[in-house]
Amino acid sequence: MPAEADEPTSSDTIVVTPGRRAEKRLEVDRSIDVITEQRRQELQGASVPELLEEAPGVLVQQSNRGAGAPMLRGLIGPQNLLMVDGIRFSLSTHRTGPNQYLSLFDPWAITRLEVLRGPSSVLHGNGAMGGVINLVTDLVDVADEPTGSYFGAFRTSSADASPMLSLRGTASGNGLLFLVGGSFSHFGLLRTGHDDTVPLSDFESGFWRAKLIYAPTLRWSITGAYFGGAVLGAGRTDTLNRGDFRRHDNVDHLAYVDFQWKGIGVVRKVHANVSYHQQIEAVGRTKCKTRKDAAEVNGKTVEVAVIADREACLAQDRAKAVTDVESYNDGVRSVSADVGLDLGFWNNRVRLSFGQDVSVDLVESTLAVANTADGFQRRDKARGNFSDDSRYVMTGTFAHLAITPLRTDLLELIVSGGARLSYFAAHAPAVPGFGDVDYDHVGVVGSAGIQLVLPGVLNVYTSFVQGFRAPNLQETTVLGDTGRAFELPNADLKPERSDTIEAGLKAAFGPIEVSAAYFYSFLRDTIDLGASTHKGAAKVDGKDVRIRVNTRGRSHGVEAGLGVKLWGATVRATVTWVDSELEDAAGNLRSAPKQPPVFGTASVRYDFGGKRRPYVEAFVRWAAPQTKLHPSDESDLRICESKQRPGWLMKDLGQPCEGTPGWAIVGVRGGSWLNRWLRADLSVSNIGDMGYRVHSSGFDAPGIDVRATLTADF
């Protein structure tokens, strides 16, 4: 039986993301929460995004199954930085807004999942605007004497009839450890509340990994790791009623070599790593015959093209329904390097960190089309989603200083600050109608903070932190139909910036844990969608012409959590409120896109103790209605499709969109070790079989879902 893991929200849980070094969660000056290995096992998440569904301050959006994009402080997609073992996972081709890239990593490889909320561009670089999600993998002790371990798990879920198998083995001795593992899942059609079924929601995923660690002493180590993943056949159908759907195939490869040296004198830590990351995305897009549906709106007849034969379209019947087939293939190869030095002076009361990082992304992109007019003969187009041979370069240098001018047995006063200088450059050749697109940016960001810490008891902090994100290749070079609009390139986009003031506290008074934070962000040069024309037309093939533009605005919010533990019982609750507004072309403030509603969680848990450590937990997840919408939300079928007339937007009918209704689901879970090697976990979620949808998602959430997992660990 493995050693007992940390409590899911224990104040003693060690984190590494906020300061790029090991610290106790309670004592860092940032808003951070952790999903430990124990909690990951209890949640039984089928993907990394599913593991985040109950994380404080995180709302998970899904455009389609096999995808999942966390919203942090109202920001989504490339505005949040994804990392694996501190290695950058985000790439320059990641789509603005919701995407699927976090689903390309094996949840069974995670020992600790850290969610840092709020900008962190000084320490972590480009893209850390809303926050950072760091997946810490396979923390297994390296042994001196020969030893080995074996792990296996089988899981099934009733909502989509999905079997899953995961295996892992390790061998260790003489300071050397070798690990190999993998998992496979098949997902059937998803059943939502009240016996509805999501079309094309079946898909498959597979993951494989290997890790080699050489640690001859406690002072230094070398780690080589490789992670592979594939999500195949994931269907997206939010525009199906307009005669348009897609199937996504994604394959990901990440490999790195990392060197770590730890000292006890002035030089506290030296690290260096180099990584290679390849991501391949193939999208098959099918367009089907439509018919004109008419309605009287304000005394005028309005027509919208809606699907003619839904079943034939889903069957991809070329004789009856299909008119066009498009095959997109995008690939990006990225090479990155990162070095860092951590110094300590005055009995470690002065900590000084330096770092330098660089990455180069090379992009390949193709598009092939076929339609009824030429008998579905495949024709290669001149350009795919991106220009072939596009490239994107990032490099940055940072320094960070933390001083403890006051330290007693009961109290510490810590003052910190830092700065980063970054450079970005991009090149996209031969964008049709625009020629070569080239741009580069230099950015400087800073941070400052002060905190009062009673170790293990109380942390009161305030900080000023800047965020910075250079526009990526998807935003600056996109050309064509992106689903909701016809978008044009804009190489003149400036980097997004934010200035955030945050104040918060964390406390652990005996059985009570409390956390609360308020933040206010001044948003500068935030990237938004604006109206434009293409060859003099405001619409192309019925889609509004849009171009990315810079604007400004503000965002503020509150995150709070409470935990009370008495004997074996634990009660927890969290709530998050975020309000973000951007200026339109006339200078008026309006809601930011995909603004999250007020949302939160609550749970009551009882741990029975004993060597088998059984537990039972009842939980609630909820979200309030969201009626504050950006103009792009009102044109989004995921949010504003008419239920009475599928394929129509509410605005087409001359009616205001009511947004997303509020919801609350109830569930129960429990688990226990059966003996030294076997563990069983069981959960039932959405017990009321409620039909609901997470705001801006492309399909309704699962109905009642029974999950069971049997784990062997020896």
Inform me whether the pLDDT recorded for 97 exceeds 80: no
Question: In three state form, how does the secondary structure of 363-417 look?
Answer: EEEEEEEEEHHHCCCCEECCCCCCCCCEEEEEEEEEEEEEEEEEECCCCEEEEEE
Say yes or no to pLDDT of 586 above 90.
no
**Average confidence (pLDDT) over 168-174:** 93
pLDDT at 2: 59
Sheet strand arrangement including 80-84: 31-36, 110-117, 131-137, 80-84, 87-88
Tell me the mean pLDDT in the region 302-314. Answer: 95
Q: Is the pLDDT of residue 539 over 90?
A: no
The percentage of the chain sitting over the pLDDT mark of 70, rounded to a whole number, equals: 98
Cα–Cα distance for residue pair 515/132, rounded to 1 Å: 19
Output 664-668 pairs: Cβ under 8 A, ≥24 positions apart.
664/620, 664/621, 664/622, 664/623, 664/690, 665/620, 665/621, 665/622, 665/690, 665/692, 665/701, 666/618, 666/619, 666/620, 667/618, 667/619, 667/620, 667/621, 668/616, 668/617, 668/618, 668/619
Weakest mean pLDDT among 94-98, 193-197, 466-470: 94-98
Assess whether pLDDT exceeds 50 at residue 346: yes
One-letter identity of residue 493: L
pLDDT in tens, 406-422: 999 899 999 999 999 99
User: Rounded mean pLDDT of 191-201?
Assistant: 93
* Type and span of the H or E element at 435: strand 435-454
Residue-wise over 333-367: b if at least 16 C-beta within 10 A, else e? Answer: bbebebebbbbbeeeeeebbbebebebbbebbbbb
Answer yes or no: are the C-beta atoms of 392 and 90 closer than 8 Å: no
3-state secondary structure 266-294: CEEEEEEEEEEEEEEEEEEEEEECEEEEE
The pLDDT, as a whole number, for residue 376 is 92
On the question of pLDDT at 585 being above 60, the answer is: yes
pLDDT, tens digit, 9 for 90 and up, residues 473-497: 888 888 777 767 788 888 889 999 9
- The total number of residues written for the chain in this structure: 714
Q: What is the pLDDT of residue 264?
A: 85
DSSP string of 525-562, one letter each residue: EEEEEEE--BTTBSEETTEEEEEEEEEEEEEEEEEEEE
Average pLDDT, integer, range 147-172 = 95
Mean pLDDT (whole number) for 322-329: 96
Tens-digit pLDDT profile for residues 380-412: 998 888 999 999 999 999 999 999 999 998 999
Lowest mean pLDDT among 22-36, 94-108, 158-172, 472-486: 472-486
- Average pLDDT, rounded, for the chain: 93
pLDDT digits (tens, 9 = 90+) for 638-691: 999 999 999 999 999 999 998 999 999 999 999 999 999 999 999 999 999 999
pLDDT at residue 5, rounded to an integer = 45
DSSP label of 195: G
What is the per-residue pLDDT for 513? 95
Are 305 and 291 spatial neighbours (Cβ–Cβ below 8 Å)?
yes
d(C-alpha 345, C-alpha 213), whole Å: 30
- Considering only the top CATH level, what class is 14-137+154-713? mainly beta
Average pLDDT over residues 284-313: 94
Q: What is the pLDDT of residues 31-76, one digit of tens each?
A: 999 999 999 999 999 999 999 999 999 999 999 999 999 999 999 8
Integer Cα distance of 275 and 329 in angstroms: 23
Does residue 139 surpass a pLDDT of 90? no
Report the pLDDT value the prediction gives residue 6, as an integer from 0 to 100.
Answer: 44
Distance CA 8, CA 26 (A): 13
